[in-house]
């Protein structure tokens, strides 16, 4: 019984079709990486799962419940948390306030303010700082912490490495490894193929709104993924 099941999902931006019918099932404890070029529809898909984008067709089933029409804040209460692309912290709130604002009293669990600060030690001394004064890596850590503190059963991560220095990305992925080791179910969008394959058991490649490749870590070669990523195996051969 999968934790998350997406069936025939279609997502639009106005008249533009961003996601044209995708199916995926994620089991509890799995880590799945969603890769693809810009504009492939990855962010839209994550947002739809998180409840921030209403599907025009299809279903999203989470833990047996149909959550297709559920609004984002209700999805959080059900146990789905999204770390949005670009961090999107509340700039004028302090780090501590950013973390606390995501706390859901009704969901118990491992993650509290203290445990999050333990998992991201760099944040401990930044507690009182306004979020907009932080560096990219610090902001990313805060954003992940903010999602974790809701004790999600499904963690969605959108481009956590974007705009960060390599060292900062290392730090983020180290913390992520800890989170995954604790049994979290993770679906992450990642442009950096190496990182994606390094952390995920399953890789899905998306192109122009559709899944074009799917496989387990060991099964796929880099060449296969790259080819699917750019759509090289399609196109006119005269």
Partner 1 sequence: MTWINDIVQGITLGGFYGLLACGLALMFGLMRIINLAHGDIAVLGAYLVFLLLEHWHVSPFIGILPVLPVMLLLGYLLQRTMLERSLRSGLLVPLLTTFGLSIVIQNLLEQGFSPDVRSLGENAGSIATSSWQITSKLSISTIGALTLGVAIVIFGSLQWFLSRTQPGRQMRATAQDPDTAELVGIDSRAVYGWATAIAVAIAAVAGMFLAIRSTFFPYAGPDNLIFAFEAVVIGGLGSSLWGALLGGIVLGVAQTIGGQINPEYSILAGHLVFLLVLASPRGGLLTLGAGGIARVRSARGVSA
Would you count residue 162 as binding partner 1 (CB under 8 A)? Answer: no
Pick from 116, 51, 114: nearest CA to 78? 51
Q: Are 146 and 84 in contact (CB under 8 A)?
A: no
Give the number of residues in contact with partner 1, rule: CB under 8 A. Answer: 26
Would you count residue 177 as binding partner 1 (CB under 8 A)? Answer: no
Would you count residue 13 as binding partner 1 (CB under 8 A)? Answer: no
* 3-class secondary-structure state, position 90: coil
For residue 179, what are the contacts with CB-CB under 8 A and spacing of at least 6?
119, 144, 148, 155, 186
Neighbouring-strand partners of residue 206: 211
**Smaller CB separation from partner 1, 86 or 215:** 86
Please state the closest distance from residue 224 (CB atom) to partner 1, in A.
33
Neighbour-count burial of 2, counting CB atoms closer than 10 A to its CB (0-12 exposed, 13-18 middle, 19+ buried): middle
**Smaller CB separation from partner 1, 90 or 230:** 90
Among 19, 34, 45, 76, binds partner 1 (CB under 8 A): 76
**Smaller CB separation from partner 1, 106 or 181:** 106
Would you count residue 184 as binding partner 1 (CB under 8 A)? Answer: no
**Smaller CB separation from partner 1, 41 or 79:** 79
Scanning 59-67, 73-81, 186-194, 227-235 for contacts with partner 1 by CB under 8 A, the matching segment is 73-81
Would you count residue 82 as binding partner 1 (CB under 8 A)? Answer: yes
Give me the residue label for tokens 């047996």.
64
* 3-class secondary-structure state, position 172: helix
Would you count residue 54 as binding partner 1 (CB under 8 A)? Answer: no
Would you count residue 230 as binding partner 1 (CB under 8 A)? Answer: no
Give me the residue label for tokens 């060292």.
167
Interatomic CA distance for residues 42 and 45, integer angstroms: 5
Restricted to residues 119-148, the positions that interact with partner 1 (CB under 8 A) are 146-147
Sign of CA dihedral 73, 88, 164, 211: positive
Tell me which residues touch partner 1 (CB under 8 A).
50-52, 71-73, 76-77, 81-82, 84, 88, 90-93, 97-98, 100-104, 146-147, 150
């Amino acid at each position: 019984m999968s934790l998350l099941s997406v069936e025939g999902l279609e997502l639009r931006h106005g008249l533009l079709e961003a996601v044209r019918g995708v199916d995926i099932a994620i089991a509890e404890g799995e880590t799945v990486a969603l890769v693809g070029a810009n504009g492939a529809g990855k962010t839209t898909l994550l947002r739809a799962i998180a409840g921030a984008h209403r599907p025009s067709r299809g279903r999203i089933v989470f833990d047996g419940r149909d959550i297709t029409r559920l609004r984002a804040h209700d999805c959080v209460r059900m146990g789905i948390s999204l770390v949005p692309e670009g961090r999107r912290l509340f700039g004028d709130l302090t780090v501590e306030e950013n973390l606390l604002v995501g706390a859901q009293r009704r969901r118990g669990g491992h993650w509290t303010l203290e445990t999050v600060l333990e998992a991201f030690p760099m944040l401990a001394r930044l507690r009182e700082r306004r979020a907009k004064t932080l560096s990219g890596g610090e902001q990313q850590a805060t954003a992940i912490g903010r999602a974790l503190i809701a004790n999600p059963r499904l963690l969605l991560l959108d481009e956590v490495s974007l705009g960060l220095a390599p060292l900062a990305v290392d730090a983020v992925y180290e913390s992520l490894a800890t989170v995954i080791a604790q049994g979290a179910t993770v679906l992450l969008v990642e442009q950096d193929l190496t990182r994606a394959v390094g952390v995920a058991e399953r890789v899905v490649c998306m192109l122009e709104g559709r899944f074009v490749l799917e496989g387990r870590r060991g099964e796929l070669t880099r060449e296969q993924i790259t080819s699917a990523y750019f759509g090289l195996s399609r196109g006119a051969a005269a």
